[in-house]
Amino acid sequence: PRTGWPVEHWRSVSVVAPLAIAAGACATVAMLQPVDSALAFLNQQGVRYLAIDHHGERYAK
pLDDT digits 0-9 by tens, 39-60: 999 999 999 999 999 999 999 9
Q: What are 1's strand-pairing partners?
A: none
pLDDT at 5: 76
Q: Are 16 and 47 in contact (CB under 8 A)?
A: yes
pLDDT digits 0-9 by tens, 7-30: 789 999 999 999 999 999 999 999
Of 25 and 5, more confident: 25
Of 42 and 4, more confident: 42
pLDDT at 4: 77
User: Taking the domains of the chain in order of start, what are their residue ranges?
Assistant: 10-60
The H or E element containing residue 50 is: strand 48-53
Residue 1 has pLDDT above 80, yes or no: no
